[in-house]
Amino acid sequence: MSALLVTLGALIGAPARYLADVVIAARTRSAFPWGTFAVNVAGSLILGAVAGLVSGGHLATWTQTLVGTGFCGALTTFSTFSYNTVHLVEEGRLRAATANVVGSIAASFLAVAVGWWLGSR
């Protein structure tokens, strides 16, 4: 059952990541990977909220498998984040690469904490 829940969540999360990245990239026209940044922060917020809701007994535990592992796992992307950072370094955009690493980690950590706080209230 868990594998099915993860698959169902991923069927929504992966296309959502792609569409968000395409829309954001078209609107920003920047070398900075705003699409990847946005989906990673949004996924962290959602994951934190779901984990907080499950922890507080407000959602069934299977919800964390569906939304947390499936949807958020497919929505967020460490590999693309890493690739984007290496690409920025290769282009000589060291400030943008550093901002991507520091900003992504800090914003995602803050987002999961805020999500958990909101979900567990």
What does the buried/exposed string (b/e) look like for 18-31 if buried means 16 or more CB atoms within 10 Å of the residue's CB? Answer: eebbeebeeeeeee
**Per-residue confidence band for 121, with pLDDT thresholds at 50, 70 and 90:** confident
**pLDDT surpassing 90 at residue 104:** yes
State the pLDDT at residue 9. Answer: 98
**pLDDT surpassing 90 at residue 75:** yes
**pLDDT surpassing 90 at residue 29:** no
In sequence order, what are the residues at sequence separation of 6 or more whose Cβ sits closer than 8 angstroms to the Cβ of residue 86?
97
